Structure 1
Amino acid sequence: MAYKTVLVHIDESARSDFRVKIAAEIAKADNAHLLGTAVTGVSRFIYQDGNISASDPNLTIHLNFLKERAERAVANFNKLVQETGVSSYESAIANDEAGGGIGLQARYSDLVVIGQTNRDEPSPSVLPDFPEYLVMNSGRPVLIVPYTGDFTTVGKRPLISWDASREATRALTDAIPLLKQAELVQVAIFNPKATPDAHGDQPGADIALYLARHGIKVEVSVHKTSTDIGNALLSLSNDLDSDMLVMGGYGHSRFREMIMGGVTRTILESMTVPVLMSH
């Protein structure tokens, strides 16, 4: 099992180059094809300003502005990837907002790399709930890179949040190509007595055996907390010097609005390391 197509969202944000470098390292490790996609946000603009006619000169000005932004992002991506040594790559522009454009291409990728929402750096082509939307709707694992912090490695010391749920199972399985390259995988279980049927008599024993069969070096720790599990998980990742968090993404959609679970919402807002999520 390996990633053969890695998709990364590119734009003119401050962390775009950093995302590309992370995606490139993952692609090189599996000899995968790297696809960098910029979105224009044209569809969002037209929907919001549907009363503008084709003859309105403002329409052309705005559309050209959006197109030029995407073209600059693609040119920068192509230059940067050439320097990373990735053997197979391509770039593309989607005339859609990020959720629709990246979400569609995600269907044909093994892993999607995007950025955490930074409300101090708004974009005309990326809605604030882009990470939530992609996790819930893409059907693919999504690696979300924080908008702050520097990481010399990603996936060498991952921490898995394990509650034996369907979402956690999906995330863990989706992360196996990265986990197999890790130096040590930590599995954390919080409050297992709350769902005893899911964990059995020895919480963590089954998942440790499952990972070991994949040749993955793993350690399991069980924790009891009365505080918010999301913050407890972030604290533990800091204590363990983890460089990636793997977890299920919990929530549902209501029209375009994403209604996320408490732990998921906490992590998406306050992540301190890259987070791989699956739903």
Structure 2
Amino acid sequence: MDYKTILVHVDDTPEMPDRVAFAARLANDKGAHLVGMTQTGISRFIRETTLPGVELGDLAPLFANLRDAAGQRAAHFDTLAQQAGVASFSHRVDDEGPGLALALRALYADLVVVGGTAHDAPGVSGIAGIPEYVALNSPSPVLVLPRQRACPQAPQRVMVAWNASPEAARAARLALPLLVRAKQVELAVFDEESSSVRTPEDAADMAQFLARHGVAVEICRHHPRGAVGNALLVRAEDLKIDLLVMGCYGHSRYREILLGGVSRTVLRRLSMPVLLAH
């Protein structure tokens, strides 16, 4: 398996050109088709803000401006992809909000590349930020890039957060195109109540599975004194890893929304690229 269709979020943030450049390098490396996805947000605007008695025709100038801005972003993506030497690329403009538009287009992609959500950014549909929403609502893994940090497209030091859950197993499988090229991969087990890892064999079986794909894995068990999310980030930062691979929302989705959880802790303190899968 390899990534042959890569979807990248094209928005109006200052980080967008670097995000596209990262996705372009990855597409060149994998011989993949690169899709730039941008949105007008018109459909969400109509659903959430239109007042009774307001004629949609009155909003035509606003909608025209939104479509024009999205078209300019799409054209900018085309220019960036051309400059990066991407052999095969295209763009999509959708009237939905970014979370839903990316999740729908991700049905036809092997990997989605997005930027990290700002701490004060509003949630998507009141539930989560864009990375979490896409991971929860699409079959594709989501590679979340931190703000203001250069990210190698071929990470050399990788940590796989392992708790013997279906989500963690899916994340590891979907990260294989990146794992097989890494020089150092730690299968990190954090012993705590919610982990499904009960015996040493649980981690050893996963290490053997990855090894059969050509991934050199070292198992490391940790006994955090506090929250697992914080302990995971401290370990990742100590190792200066290039990529963290983890399952998204291993517990009840609503429990994590209310109480936090490892996924949300990592994404809110994002300091390295994270590959998520649900």
TM-score normalised by the chain length of structure 2: 0.89
Q: Which runs of structure 2 are paired with 1:21-170 in the superposition (5 Å)?
A: 21-51=21-51, 52-56=54-58, 59-119=59-119, 129-152=129-152, 155-170=155-170
Indicate how the Cα distance of structure 1 residues 146 and 120 shifts in structure 2: closer, same or farther if over 3 A, else same.
Answer: same
Deviation string, structure 1 residues 32-79 (Cα, Å, up to 9, x no partner): 1110110110111111233320331xx123212211221121111111
Q: Is the 8 A contact 1:27 1:34 kept in 2?
A: yes
Q: Which runs of structure 2 are paired with 1:187-206 in the superposition (5 Å)?
A: 187-191=187-191, 194=193, 198-202=197-201, 204-206=203-205
Unmatched tracts of structure 2, length 5 or more: none
Using the alignment, how far apart are the partners of 2:112 and 2:196 within structure 1? Answer: 33
What is the match of residue 274 of structure 2? 275
Report deviation, 1:112: 0.6
What is the match of residue 262 of structure 1? 261
What is the match of residue 238 of structure 2? 239
Report deviation, 1:123: 11
Unmatched tracts of structure 1, length 5 or more: none
Using the alignment, how far apart are the partners of 2:222 and 2:152 within structure 1? Answer: 28
Using the alignment, how far apart are the partners of 2:83 and 2:127 within structure 1? Answer: 30
Aligned residues: 274
Deviation string, structure 1 residues 3-32 (Cα, Å, up to 9, x no partner): 111101101111111211221122222211
Using the alignment, how far apart are the partners of 1:122 and 1:136 within structure 2? Answer: 17
In structure 1, what residue type is equivalent to 2:93?
A: I
Report deviation, 1:198: 3.4
Indicate how the Cα distance of structure 1 residues 53 and 212 shifts in structure 2: closer, same or farther if over 3 A, else same.
Answer: same
Percentage of identical aligned residues? 39
TM-score normalised by the chain length of structure 1: 0.89
Report deviation, 1:201: 3.5
Report deviation, 1:274: 1.0
Indicate how the Cα distance of structure 1 residues 197 and 233 shifts in structure 2: closer, same or farther if over 3 A, else same.
Answer: closer
In structure 2, what residue type is equivalent to 1:230?
A: G
Using the alignment, how far apart are the partners of 2:220 and 2:205 within structure 1? Answer: 13
Report deviation, 1:241: 1.0
Indicate how the Cα distance of structure 1 residues 99 and 201 shifts in structure 2: closer, same or farther if over 3 A, else same.
Answer: closer
SS in 1 for 2:164: coil
Q: Which runs of structure 2 are paired with 1:193-232 in the superposition (5 Å)?
A: 194=193, 198-202=197-201, 204-232=203-231
